[in-house]
Structure 1
Amino acid sequence: MHWDDGAARLGQLPPVRNALLQIAVCMGEESFFVALESALRHSSLPPDGLRWLGERLPEELLWLLAFAHSDADSGLESLVRLRLHHLGISVQTQISIEGVGEVDMVIGNRLIIEADGRENHEREAKRHKDLVRDAKAAALGYETLRFDYAMIVHDWEIVKAAIIAKVTASAHLRASFQVAVG
């Protein structure tokens, strides 16, 4: 039993809302946001859960309740979206691109950001599939930045620099051009 008003019984897990509150207070913004989006994705938070959290969260974290989505496929995606938000960079999430499939995030209208978990590249077949998708996206005028778990979690400054460089160079904006054929 921790220190909030949740009811816990020996051998039973506490309610998800109580666990989220503990994460928010003990571990901070990023951990709370990742856990919150995961709970939303898996429909683990009862309908009154957001209201309950809104009444108990520290004021500086309240905005995360409105910012959270239920479509993040992984905690890495949630973490990247939150960190980019703090940089003033907006993303669209889980975007379906004809001929490519669903991508994690798009900045502007042509910069794809993919956040690959540890298990994603353990097998060469998955890596090959990702490279084919990236090539198909490039043929449609998109640029793809693909980052793995270690880069996002341990080398964020490199990830941040790469994204900022692409946005600064307007790589996220689709240029109007025509290709001459013949």
Structure 2
Amino acid sequence: MTELPTVVVVATKNPGKAREFKALFAKDGITVKTLLDYPEIEDVLETGHTFEENARLKADTISATLNLPVLADDSGLMVAYLHGQPGVRSARYAGDHNDAANNAKLLTELAGVPEAKRSAKFQTDLVFAKPNVPQKDLVVTGQVAGQIALFPRGENGFGYDSLFLLPDLNKTMAEISSAQKNQLSHRAQAMAELEKQWRQWYQAE
């Protein structure tokens, strides 16, 4: 049986995202490092057509470079009326990582579309890669269903949070507390699934 790792690299430069994963691995005494610890690593081009493909590209490439286990994610918003768009282009929907422009474009695309046809979901795919065995990556997915509001609501969020309405709560992601969001979010769902599976997967030969 393979020993659990002493170090896991999370393929992000986002300190907030890193904190979430540090908490997950801390109970096993595992040190979490990020791409900020490896400035020599070049950005991996996200050329995949799905969240899983993009996350796998990052995990496999960086794991092979560092010879360490690497966890990568990709996530975004999929709107049914727009045939799954913006999807993997969520962060770059209206250009380059401009939340206000992305939201404005989404509202323009859905102008006149009734509430009943504005269903959407957020999705996160996590890919965990072990060094030298890219064909055996662990892949988990988290989703949260909702719909696109008619106008932005709330201040507690980023990205599309102010437009993503949770019908059961009648609040957008930007109107709920950080604690609620951490329980309900697509990333939270994916991390819960990762927590269930990763040890057995890592220790398998």
Q: TM (normalized to structure 2)?
A: 0.23
Report 1 or 2 for greater relative contact order, CA contacts < 8 Å, sequence distance ≥ 6.
2
Richer in helix (by share):
1
Richer in strand (by share):
2
Larger radius of gyration: 1
